[in-house]
Structure 1
């Protein structure tokens, strides 16, 4: 069995997929438009894509699963700053001495993700 997508339930799939496309540098499928109920961010093989699907329910609790990211070509702190500039918010800061630790952020709909050090 092979992973195909990581699916994220959300209120505004196109807008959230656009955030994640900018953050990861991965393209959307190219056929998606604002208002679509499903939008795919295509990851390079062998990684699974990110599929954003509209659901009527609001997010009610902390994520049970979240993604951890390791910067490529930038430091953790530079990547955190870039994510915040794209619309993320810092949720918990676990950075420590000697450049150790990670930062937990929330995307524009409140889904948690972490950026670790390089």
Structure 2
């Protein structure tokens, strides 16, 4: 018996706006939406994929995790204890990707990192949830 990483749940005030923002960031696809949650698959779904069809057991563990946005009444108050790390491929322009995120509404955050000693940039989404853009990678 195995467990699968199924979702990362993000508390937010405007679940629809946050889900759409992250879908833009991660070229994702919204696969479920109601007033209590919005689910988004980063990278989107393969052509012909049926989100309502059962997934065979042999494929279950290879499915990507979703981001699920759920409503909370309060705004963010302290630094996240869990955050998402993003990375560009070495063939991509990391600085251009950071600028794209800023243009989409991200903000640069000082989480105590020393920019002279770290290889990542800390940003926050439109509701203030921190995430990092790591150095470019190829594995």
Is 2:103 the counterpart of 1:102?
no
Aligned ranges 1:1-118 → 2 under 5 Å: 1-29=3-31, 31-32=32-33, 36-43=35-42, 46-72=63-89, 74-92=92-110, 95-96=115-116, 101-118=119-136
Greater share of residues in strand: 1
Report SS of the residue matched to 1:40: strand
Deviation at 1:74, TM superposition (A): 2.4
CA distance in 1, matches of 2:71, 2:5: 21
Query: What TM-score do the two structures reach when normalised by structure 2?
Result: 0.72
CA distance in 1, matches of 2:93, 2:125: 19
Alignment coverage as a number of residue pairs? 113
* Rg (Cα) greater in structure: 2
Please report the RMSD computed on the Cα atoms of aligned residues, expressed in angstroms: 2.1
Contact 2:123/2:130 (<8 A) preserved: yes
Report SS of the residue matched to 1:28: strand
Contact 1:94/1:101 (<8 A) preserved: no
| Unaligned 5+ runs, structure 1 | none
Report SS of the residue matched to 2:33: coil
